């Protein structure tokens, strides 16, 4: 600083002397030289001021000292951000989630089991129905006639059985009568034997005539023949019972056949009315009143109320996943609601293993791809909102 001061004094001394001298004694300079000298002086003054201006900046306090509250707030915010990131990371390790998930259900194909014309469509598209509610009706006039014919066959078969039973009872009565005739013939034969023996003895003594003896012998032979005839009648009557028993079994078989035909006719008649197998919604109705339905023809689709979530997690996410773990379910259709459920089961195999064309890694070049494994997630409580197969879901499973 002393050297600069000395230089400044030396430069200002001639100027002061010039001011003290009379105006006439001053040397005359051209105007351009005067302007040049003044500009040089201004530059020197500016150079002298710059070091002097920098001196106060060195002694000025820093930004943190000048704004301590703002610095404290910024530091607190940074610490909170770091703590939030750490808490989020620790919390995120406890969950596994995927957006490759959707609502699934076992949809039912409603089709015709018999041929006939549709007489009534009792539901409309997307209508909720209860289990057993009527969906469609098919013309049943032909099937009513078939049922009546089958019922008539049952009546006829039962009549045949009753007829055979009556004949059997009558035949048993004949057997009883024939057995009584055998007993009567047996008694007559015993008496004839006694008479024949007595007449022979009397003939030997000369008391009876030859004619009496011959007549007694003839009576004995007649009674023996009568007994043989009675025995033959008994055997014939018994053999007829076996025939009637065979007829009875045949009549019973016909009755069973007629009853089966009747049951089949009843079942066929019930198929003219198509009902809902479970509670759900009728959708994709493809028939109308008057349509002629063929057996096996699809008439509509039916979506049950029982739905669940099918989540395709990466195989790397399944290490800690177990059945029963709680799940928070976010459904795209209801962004303001969160549903709760739990893991029901994990499929025994990746999705590609059960596809129409499964991967065949043993052929060609192999490129490892992380596979997706379907996980079934069920709701803890009925959702209480409309859910259909294919709706997008984001499940979050708590695995720790």
In a domain? residue 12:
yes
If asked whether residues 240 and 308 sit together in one domain, one would say no
Q: What is the pTM of this model?
A: 0.59
pLDDT tens readout for residues 70-100: 878 888 888 888 888 877 777 667 888 999 9
In a domain? residue 178:
yes
pLDDT tens readout for residues 172-193: 777 777 677 766 767 766 666 7
If asked whether residues 243 and 279 sit together in one domain, one would say no
Q: What is the CATH number of the domain that holds 312?
A: 2.40.30.170
Task: Please report the pLDDT score of residue 55 as a whole number.
Answer: 46
Q: Specify the long-range contacts of residues 86-93, CB closer than 8 Å, at least 24 apart.
A: 93/400
**Count of CA atoms in the C-beta half-sphere (13 A) of 49:** 6
- What is the tally of structural domains in the chain? 4
244 vs 261, higher pLDDT: 261
pLDDT tens readout for residues 117-143: 999 999 999 899 999 999 999 999 999
Q: Specify the long-range contacts of residues 322-329, CB closer than 8 Å, at least 24 apart.
A: 322/399, 325/397, 325/398, 325/399, 326/397, 326/398, 327/377, 327/395, 327/396, 327/397, 327/398, 328/395, 328/396, 328/398, 329/377, 329/379, 329/393, 329/394, 329/395, 329/396
Q: What is the CATH number of the domain that holds 112?
A: 2.40.50.100
The whole-chain average pLDDT of the chain stands at 79
In a domain? residue 25:
yes
In a domain? residue 236:
yes
Last residue of some domain: 221, 251, 270? 270
If asked whether residues 116 and 198 sit together in one domain, one would say no
If asked whether residues 165 and 204 sit together in one domain, one would say yes
If asked whether residues 256 and 161 sit together in one domain, one would say yes
If asked whether residues 277 and 371 sit together in one domain, one would say no
If asked whether residues 291 and 307 sit together in one domain, one would say no
In a domain? residue 115:
yes
In a domain? residue 265:
yes
Residue recorded with tokens 């799940």: 327
If asked whether residues 241 and 204 sit together in one domain, one would say yes
Q: What is the CATH number of the domain that holds 245?
A: 1.10.287
Q: Give the DSSP letter string of 158-224.
A: HHHHHHHHHHHHHHHHHHHHHHHHHHHHHHHHHHHHHHHHHHHHHHHHTSS-HHHHHHHHHHHHHHH
Last residue of some domain: 220, 255, 270? 270
If asked whether residues 262 and 312 sit together in one domain, one would say no
If asked whether residues 235 and 277 sit together in one domain, one would say no
If asked whether residues 131 and 277 sit together in one domain, one would say yes
If asked whether residues 163 and 260 sit together in one domain, one would say yes
In a domain? residue 79:
no
Structural domain that includes position 385: 97-106+302-398
**C-alpha angle with apex 124: 118 to 129, nearest 5 degrees?**
105
pLDDT tens readout for residues 312-338: 999 999 988 999 999 999 999 999 999
Q: Report the range of poorest mean pLDDT among 15-29, 121-135, 182-196, 370-384.
A: 15-29
Task: Quickly state the pLDDT bin for 357 (edges 50, 70, 90).
Answer: confident
In a domain? residue 92:
no
Task: Please report the pLDDT score of residue 210 as a whole number.
Answer: 66
């Amino acid at each position: 600083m002393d050297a600069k001061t000395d230089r400044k004094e030396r430069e200002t001394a001639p100027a002061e002397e010039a001011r003290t001298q009379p105006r006439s004694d001053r040397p005359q300079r051209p105007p351009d030289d005067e302007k040049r000298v003044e500009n040089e002086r201004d530059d020197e003054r500016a150079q002298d001021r710059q070091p002097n201006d920098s001196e106060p900046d060195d002694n000025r306090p820093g930004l943190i000292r000048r704004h301590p509250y703002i610095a404290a707030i910024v530091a607190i915010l940074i610490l909170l951000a770091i703590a939030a990131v750490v808490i989020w990371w620790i919390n995120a390790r406890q969950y596994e989630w995927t957006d490759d998930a959707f609502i699934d259900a076992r949809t039912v194909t409603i089709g015709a089991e018999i041929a006939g014309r549709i007489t009534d469509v009792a539901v409309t598209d997307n209508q909720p129905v209860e289990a057993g509610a009527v969906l469609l009706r098919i013309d049943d006039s032909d099937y009513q006639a078939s049922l009546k014919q089958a019922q008539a066959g049952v009546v006829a078969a039962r009549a045949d059985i009753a007829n055979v039973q009556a004949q059997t009872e009558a035949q048993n009565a004949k057997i009883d009568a024939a057995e009584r005739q055998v007993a009567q013939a047996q008694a007559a034969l015993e008496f004839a034997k006694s008479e024949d023996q007595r007449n022979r003895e009397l003939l030997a003594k000369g008391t009876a005539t030859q004619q009496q003896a011959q007549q007694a012998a003839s009576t004995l032979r007649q009674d023996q023949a009568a007994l043989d005839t009675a025995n033959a009648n008994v055997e014939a009557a018994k053999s007829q019972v076996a025939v009637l028993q065979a007829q009875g079994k045949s009549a019973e078989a016909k009755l069973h056949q007629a009853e089966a035909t009747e049951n089949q006719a009843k079942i066929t008649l019930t198929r003219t009315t198509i009902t809902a197998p479970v509670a759900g919604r009728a959708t994709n109705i493809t028939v109308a009143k008057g349509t002629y339905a063929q057996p096996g023809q699809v008439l509509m689709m039916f979506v049950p109320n029982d739905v669940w979530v099918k989540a395709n997690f990466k195989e790397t996410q399944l290490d800690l996943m177990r059945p029963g773990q709680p799940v928070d379910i976010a459904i795209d259709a209801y962004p303001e609601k969160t549903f709760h459920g739990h893991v029901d089961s994990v499929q025994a195999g990746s999705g590609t293993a059960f596809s129409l064309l499964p991967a065949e890694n043993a052929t060609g070049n192999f490129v490892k791809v992380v596979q997706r494994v379907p996980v079934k997630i069920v709701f803890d409580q009925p959702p209480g909102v409309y859910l259909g197969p294919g709706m997008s879901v984001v499940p979050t499973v708590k695995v720790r």
